């Protein structure tokens, strides 16, 4: 029966690969739709958009991979059961554990893969994605102007351009810079162009004027042929993003640096995140147990197992939702962290124990057909 077990493992592995690939494709599509603002609003390149989309994927794998494993197991086991391959193997002496063993081995390898992604790949990708997003949103050259619209790319700065050409040349430019509360300078120019001087971002305005009210209330009006507006003060306003729990490695979650203000303030949430990363791979085993129970947990039926699969699928989703609830609750109360492990373990026991202790049916007719 070792040959049949290897055959079953191979069938499940191939189906799992394609199921996870399909779900990952859906995940990439949904992530790309939510990230379109990078191109529409921030005017970033397609390469930046693609990089951020792909960096978001590792975090989704903890949810996608167990679901893909479950779908693949349902399809493969249901097909093999309908074609009576499993029944013939059981009639030849294969035990229930012999059927479940290849599936559980695949689920174990899948769980180890998810664990590696959770512990190292996902935080690294999440950290790089946050840095890319911050760089894109701090790019004043991309966010400074919207043709025909008043924009506020930074605090105290209002910009308007009637027309923006493809090369970035702006026509009929208006800028209001509020230097202090109630005090500011207004710039108008026939045209302007974003550039760099000594490596610093600047806005070069031509054929324009400045208007400023002095403290005594007098209006100061000046004209210029060319004026260089320094953008560095507004770049300094864009502070580096705070590293969130999802961006941190396990050592940083469990033992934040004493000078890490955000980490010290959110220790409970980071502890819940750490336990969640360890507990989430267990759902690969839980979902596989539910798939086995859905298809093989009852007697053979030529009419299929749609009803039983629907009930078991609803139960599997219910346990996964309970896992999310447990992690959210543990972020406020660390004493609830054991629930993050209890949910997948309880789901596995509920699904697999009745299957394992059940009797193997060896239909004489199926065995006779296999002999002939």
Q: Which residues contact 125 (CB under 8 A, 6 or more apart)?
A: 55, 56, 57, 58, 59
The pLDDT-based confidence of 136 (bands split at 50, 70, 90) is low
Query: Which token pair is 213?
Result: 């009210």
**What's the whole-number mean pLDDT along residues 61-89?**
92
Cβ atoms of 72 and 9 within 8 Å: the answer is no
Residue 304: is its pLDDT beyond 70?
no
pLDDT tens, position by position, 207-247: 999 998 876 778 889 999 999 998 877 765 544 455 788 89
The pLDDT-based confidence of 112 (bands split at 50, 70, 90) is very high
Residue 367: is its pLDDT beyond 60?
no
Which strand ranges, in their side-by-side order, compose the sheet holding 157-164? Answer: 151-154, 157-164, 170-180, 183-197, 200-213, 219-230
Burial of 156 per CB tally in 10 Å (0-12, 13-18, 19+) = middle
3-class SS of residue 99: helix
Residue with tokens 């997003």: 133
The pLDDT-based confidence of 366 (bands split at 50, 70, 90) is very low
pLDDT score for 370: 45
**Rounded CA Rg of the chain:** 30
pLDDT tens, position by position, 151-210: 887 788 899 999 888 667 889 999 999 877 667 899 999 999 888 888 778 889 999 999
Cα separations (Å) of 136 from 11, 45, 51, 143, 282? 44, 10, 12, 9, 36
3-class SS of residue 40: helix
Which of 48-52, 116-120, 327-331 is the least confident region? Answer: 48-52
CA atoms within 13 A on the CB side of 127: 13
Q: Give Cα 224 to chain centroid, integer Å.
A: 50
> What is the residue-averaged pLDDT of the chain?
86
Higher-confidence position of 81 and 133: 81
**What's the whole-number mean pLDDT along residues 309-314?**
94
Residue with tokens 């208007």: 211
d(CA 259, CA 253): 14
pLDDT score for 356: 84
Residue 369: is its pLDDT beyond 50?
no
Which of 139-148, 193-202, 266-275 is the least confident region? Answer: 139-148
Phi/psi at 95 (nearest 5 deg)? -80, 170
pLDDT score for 70: 97
pLDDT tens, position by position, 10-20: 999 999 999 99
3-class SS of residue 307: helix
């Amino acid at each position: 029966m070792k040959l049949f077990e290897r055959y079953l493992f191979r069938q499940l592995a191939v189906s799992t690969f394609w199921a996870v690939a399909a779900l990952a494709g859906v995940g990439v599509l949904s992530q790309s739709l939510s990230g379109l603002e990078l191109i529409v609003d921030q005017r970033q390149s397609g390469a930046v958009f693609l990089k951020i989309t792909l960096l978001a994927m590792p975090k989704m794998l903890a949810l996608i991979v167990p679901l893909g494993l479950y779908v693949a197991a349902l399809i493969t086991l249901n097909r093999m059961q309908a074609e009576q391959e499993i029944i013939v193997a059981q009639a030849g002496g294969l035990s229930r554990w012999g059927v479940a063993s290849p599936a559980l081995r695949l689920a174990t390898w899948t769980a180890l893969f998810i664990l590696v992604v959770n512990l190292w790949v996902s935080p690294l990708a999440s950290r790089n994605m946050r840095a890319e997003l911050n760089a894109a949103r701090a790019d004043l050259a991309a966010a400074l102007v919207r043709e025909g619209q008043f924009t506020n790319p930074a605090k105290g700065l209002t910009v308007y351009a009637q027309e923006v050409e493809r090369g970035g040349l702006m026509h009929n430019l208006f800028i209001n810079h509020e230097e202090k509360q109630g005090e500011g300078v207004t710039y108008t120019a026939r045209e302007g162009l974003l550039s760099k001087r000594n490596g610093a971002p600047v806005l070069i305005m031509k054929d324009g004027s400045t208007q400023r009210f002095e403290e005594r209330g007098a209006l100061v009006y000046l004209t210029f042929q060319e004026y260089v507006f320094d953008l560095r003060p507004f770049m300094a306003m864009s502070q580096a993003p705070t590293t969130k729990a999802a961006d941190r490695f396990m050592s940083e979650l469990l033992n934040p640096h004493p000078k890490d203000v955000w980490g010290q303030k959110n220790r409970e949430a980071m502890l819940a995140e750490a336990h969640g990363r360890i507990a989430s791979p267990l759902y690969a085993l839980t979902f596989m147990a539910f798939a086995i129970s859905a298809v093989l947990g009852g007697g053979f039926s030529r009419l299929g197992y749609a009803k039983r699969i629907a009930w078991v699928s609803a139960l599997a989703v219910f346990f996964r939702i309970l896992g999310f609830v447990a992690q959210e609750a543990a972020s406020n109360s660390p004493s609830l962290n054991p629930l993050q492990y209890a949910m997948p373990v309880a789901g596995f026991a509920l699904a697999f124990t009745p299957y394992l202790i059940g009797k193997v049916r060896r239909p004489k007719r199926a065995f006779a057909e296999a002999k002939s």
